[in-house]
Amino acid sequence: RRLDNLDMCRRLFGRAAGSTLGDRLYGEEVRALLDLLDGHPRSLVLVAGQIRDGGANLGSILARIRERGDEAVLAAELLESGTDWNEHDRLRAERLVSSLHLAYQPLLDHAPGAAELFAWLGTLPAGLPVPLASAIFGEDAPERIAILSRFSLVEFRGADERLELPAPVRWYAEHRLDADIPAERRAELLARTLEAIAALMAAAYDRMGKPGAGAVVDASRREALNLVALLGRVERSLPVAPELARLVARAFWRWSKVRVFGGHNTQQVTLIKRARNCVGMLEGSGEDYASLIEALGDLYLRTARLADAEAAYQLALAAFTAIDERIGEANTRKALGDLYLRTARLADAEAA
């Protein structure tokens, strides 16, 4: 929301400044910056965070903000989906992109690990739970997070403390990801993130029926947004390493086992079918693929699509049997038996 009051903008700028400005806060250079940033709170904070040495670099920052070059191109892409953008909107978008450049470029040059984390957050619309950061980025993840926080490039939200980027910032971050992070590293981060989400959902499932279960079901709702975005990256990258099939299947079936307690199962069916189709394209096999098909059968059963449920369970049973996975086989046979009892097919239930 735009700040219309100049004094309010000045106070925000002064509080967010990376170095105390003193009397310079009321000087011509700061006033020019405030006019250019036009009351956009995020731009004000991002630019203020670049202030150094009591404002000695105010002139260079002002000159950078006045440049338009690639910022104008990126701003045009940012506004591409809109239909009612006017000249004022375009200028504000350019200033935001310039502000983000000012904050991001020093990271890329001097703290590439933090820049990488920022860029990867662009792929996660629901943010990243802080505990997963170390699993994905390694032991220096807390240091990376601290740097992003210091530069006002990340927000902490929710009871589970998630690292999040607001929508325009996330768009910019994802653009930087494709431009600055090598494809091989992006693939590695994709695999690690899927693996981390699978582990998170396994831990969440263990809490079902216990105090706090409602919170983990709600967390699974948010994680669905991330899984959709990650699956989109997998689909756009086909063909990819077959190992990714296992990770896709594992993340989605473990998520489904938790999310099923939250209702809205029709939406889950669509997402799990999409994951299954992707895994099939990746020639996925093994226990995780079988578990994904079993999870689809469970969802069909909950949405009263009994014939589809039976077909999914039969496929899962064949997959479990092929790899001699006895527990999965037994669970699927039980699910089939329950389905047959529900449809009064007693002979089939006894055989299952």
Does position 163 have pLDDT exceeding 50, yes or no? yes
Residue 225 has what pLDDT?
Answer: 93
- Looking at residue 283, its pLDDT comes to 59
What is the predicted pLDDT for the residue at 273?
92
What integer pLDDT is reported at residue 198 of this predicted model?
95
Q: Which two tokens stand for residue 185?
A: 């590293």
- For the cut 80, the answer to whether the pLDDT of residue 264 exceeds it is no
What gap in Å lies between CA 118 and CA 136, rounded to an integer?
A: 13
Measured CA to CA, the distance from residue 40 to residue 263 in angstroms comes to 39
Residue 284 pLDDT exceeds 60: no
Please name the helix (run of DSSP H) or strand (run of DSSP E) that holds residue 129, with its range, or none. strand 128-129
**pLDDT, position 128:** 95
Q: By the 8 A CB rule, do 327 and 290 touch?
A: no
pLDDT at residue 74 above 50?
no
Q: How confident is the model at residue 93 (pLDDT cuts 50, 70, 90)?
A: low
* Arithmetic mean of pLDDT, 287-292: 91
Backbone torsion region of residue 51, taken as left when φ is above 0, otherwise alpha when ψ lies between -120 and 50, otherwise beta: beta
Q: Which amino acid is at 148?
A: L
Residue 346: its pLDDT value, please?
A: 63
Contact 121, 128 (CB under 8 A): yes
pLDDT band (50, 70, 90) for residue 185 = very high
Q: Tell me the pLDDT band of 232, cut-offs 50, 70 and 90.
A: very high
Which of 106-120, 169-183, 269-283, 288-302 shows the lowest per-residue confidence on average (mean pLDDT)?
269-283
What is the rounded average pLDDT for all residues in the chain? 83
CA–chain centroid gap for 19, Å, is 32
Pairing type for strands 128-129 and 155-157 reads unpaired
DSSP letter string, 146-165 = HHHHHTT--EEETTTTEEE-
Backbone angles phi, psi at 156, to 5 degrees: -110, 125
d(CA 270, CA 309): 14
Q: How many CB atoms lie within 10 A of CB 59?
A: 11
DSSP string for 31-70:
HHHHHHHTT-HHHHHHHHTT--GGGTTHHHHHHHHH--HH
Q: Is the peptide bond before 129 cis (omega within 30 degrees of 0)?
A: no
DSSP SS3 for 127? coil
Looking at residue 20, its pLDDT comes to 83
pLDDT at residue 72, rounded to an integer:
42
CA distance 288 to 246: 6
State the Cα angle at 194 between 327 and 129, rounded to 5°.
Answer: 110
DSSP string over 282-322: TT--SHHHHHHHHHHHHHHHHTT-HHHHHHHHHHHHHHHHH
CA distances from 256 to 59, 225, 281, 284 (A): 54, 13, 20, 18
Instruction: Assign 128 to helix, strand or coil.
Output: strand
At residue 69 the predicted structure's pLDDT band, cuts being 50, 70 and 90, is very low
Give the 3-state DSSP-derived string for 194-229, with helices as H, strands as E and coil as C: HHHHHHHHHHHHHCCCCCCHHHHHHHHHHHHHHHHH
In this prediction, residues 49-68 reach a mean pLDDT of: 79
Kindly state the tokens that stand for 234: 């997998």
